Chains A and B, each alone.
Chain A
Amino acid sequence: MSGLNEEIREQPAADVPTRRVSISVNGEKRVADVEPRLLLAHLLRQGFKLTGTHTGCDTTNCGACTVLFDGKPVKSCTMLAVQADGHDVTTVEGLAGSSELHPIQEGFKDEHGLQCGFCTPGMMLAAKALLDENPDPNEDEVRWALSGNLCRCTGYQNIVKSVLWAAKKLQQQ
């Protein structure tokens, strides 16, 4: 990984071809010159310093790197940063307001939906996409929507409860 960290600094070496991308990240326009091979997860973490997006398995399995791409959850380790040019990306940093936690974050806190917390950003964004589409899911629908995100601590029980808690809270708002 260290090789890339060096290569994707804001100013790549002069002889490396780059492309300018303009991405709306959490509602804010961000511009970067990136190598085509740079992954979206790496641009977010190392380029934009948004380290809430975690890289877990790096093989499209675990979903820790899940972000919303034009509102839909995608695995940001399995997309190129150049592909995000002109698109909207939401990371976990975009969930909370300036002073308040998002109801999904509150739910994970209230229902103990995390232990080590590594998978949590991806879980919350997958949950956000679910609740945007289906504000009143049942337990099966929550489990289905989160089935692309792996957690090695909780056994999922409390994660599912957290999302159901958030659904209820959001409906009351």
Chain B
Amino acid sequence: MYPSRFRYEAPRSIDEAVALLQEGGGEAKVLAGGQSLVPLLKLRFASPELLVDINDLPGLDYHKVDPDGTIRIGALCRHADLERSALLPAKQPTMAAAAPLVADPIVRNRGTLVGSLCHADPQGDWASVVTALGGHVVAQGANGRRRIPMREFVSGPFQNTLAFDEIAIEAVIPAPKGMPAGGYLKLERRVGDFATVGTAVALELSGAVFSRAGIALTGVGGSTIDAAEAAQALVGSPLTAETIANAAALAARAAQPRTDHRGSAEYKRHIVRTFVQRILTRVAQPNGKAA
């Protein structure tokens, strides 16, 4: 398989890249890691006239923690960088848990977190993680930068709310007010398969209670599902067997799974409940056995 013809440009600055997108007038696509876009080009699900390869843009391969605890992930930070991160295990357990579960090790060497968000695949892991964490995307266009909350960034399956001449240059996770806790669990038939079910849980612990909670679900709806009601049920209360079971049941109710070759809707809903319960139980009893 090979893509249809396109013009290719590899700009050296963000301004140059934005100018190219403007010139492309909606018929241009940004190429970062390419691990979703190149297959789409080969299948000709996408046939852009212009491909703007941003891999040569300097200074976008970072992930870093600001002094206040804000985490920033640049547009060229690869999944493998996050998997090997020295920062994330202590600073952001939900991200640290998700990074090794994205695609497969070879794809992780090229694919990017920000690209995954832009691709807006309902089965993409990072969209759930960043949604659960209440993060946002920084977009740059001709008129400067704007912040797009993750909850507004995905407008449907494979659709985001970037303007045609905007580039997502960074994903941002706001500084936690409490101690971060949580995790990400994914059921896949084999390594590299799309998620049958993925579950992101992001919590902030202040004293004995949770001051913030986010739960988002991968692969069980037309787009990433923000299980806000389930998360809200955890805020202000300690984790007990009862609150865990309640949040897990609410998350399962928020899921909108469909029966397909990966399993029945009922099965997937059951996995959502099990995963939320398992992550919360581990948070409650870090050394205990998983539920």
Interface residues of A (CB under 8 A from B): 3-4, 16-17, 19, 35-39, 42, 58-61, 63, 66, 69, 72-75, 77-80, 82-83, 126, 144-145, 147-149
Complex CA–CA separation, A77 to B191 (angstroms) = 19
Does the CB pair A38–B2 fall under 8 Å? yes
Does the CB pair B34–A73 fall under 8 Å? no
Of the residues A37, A66, A83, contact of B5 by C-beta under 8 Å: A37
Name the 3 nearest CB pairs between A and B, nearest first.
Answer: A148-B104, A36-B8, A148-B106
Does the CB pair A60–B39 fall under 8 Å? yes
Interface residues in B176-210 by Cβ distance below 8 A to A read 191-192
Q: How far is the CB of A163 from chain B (nearest CB, A)?
A: 14
Does the CB pair B38–A147 fall under 8 Å? no
B-side contacts of A73, CB under 8 Å: 105-106, 109
Does the CB pair B105–A19 fall under 8 Å? no
Q: What's the dominant secondary structure at chain A's contact region?
A: mixed
Chain B, Cβ-Cβ closest to A146: B105
Interface residues in B12-62 by Cβ distance below 8 A to A read 31, 34-35, 38-39, 41-42, 51, 53, 55
- At the interface, yes or no: B119 with Cβ under 8 Å from chain A? no
Complex CA–CA separation, A29 to B219 (angstroms) = 44
Q: How far is the CB of A147 from chain B (nearest CB, A)?
A: 4
B-side contacts of A60, CB under 8 Å: 35, 38-39, 107
Chain B, Cβ-Cβ closest to A71: B109
> How many residues of B are counted as interface, with CB atoms below 8 angstroms from the partner's CB atoms?
29
Does the CB pair B105–A59 fall under 8 Å? no
List 16 extra interface pairs beyond A60-B107, A78-B107, CB under 8 A.
A3-B2, A4-B2, A17-B7, A19-B8, A36-B51, A37-B2, A37-B3, A37-B4, A59-B1, A59-B39, A60-B35, A61-B192, A63-B104, A79-B34, A145-B105, A148-B192
Does the CB pair A37–B109 fall under 8 Å? no
Chain A, Cβ-Cβ closest to B50: A36
Whether A78 contacts B104 in the complex (CB less than 8 A), given A36-B6, A38-B2, comes out as: no
Does the CB pair B110–A144 fall under 8 Å? no
Chain B, Cβ-Cβ closest to A82: B8
A-side contacts of B4, CB under 8 Å: 37
B-side contacts of A144, CB under 8 Å: 105
B-side contacts of A63, CB under 8 Å: 104, 106
- Residue contacts A-B, CB under 8 angstroms, 11 given: A16-B5, A36-B8, A58-B42, A73-B109, A74-B109, A79-B38, A80-B53, A83-B53, A145-B105, A148-B106, A148-B192
Q: How far is the CB of A84 from chain B (nearest CB, A)?
A: 11
Q: How far is the CB of A81 from chain B (nearest CB, A)?
A: 10
Whether A72 contacts B42 in the complex (CB less than 8 A), given A38-B2, A83-B55, comes out as: no
A-side contacts of B7, CB under 8 Å: 17, 36
A-side contacts of B110, CB under 8 Å: 74-75, 78-79
Complex CA–CA separation, A82 to B9 (angstroms) = 10
Does the CB pair A80–B38 fall under 8 Å? yes
Q: How far is the CB of B261 from chain A (nearest CB, A)?
A: 15
Q: How far is the CB of A41 from chain B (nearest CB, A)?
A: 10
Complex CA–CA separation, A35 to B5 (angstroms) = 8
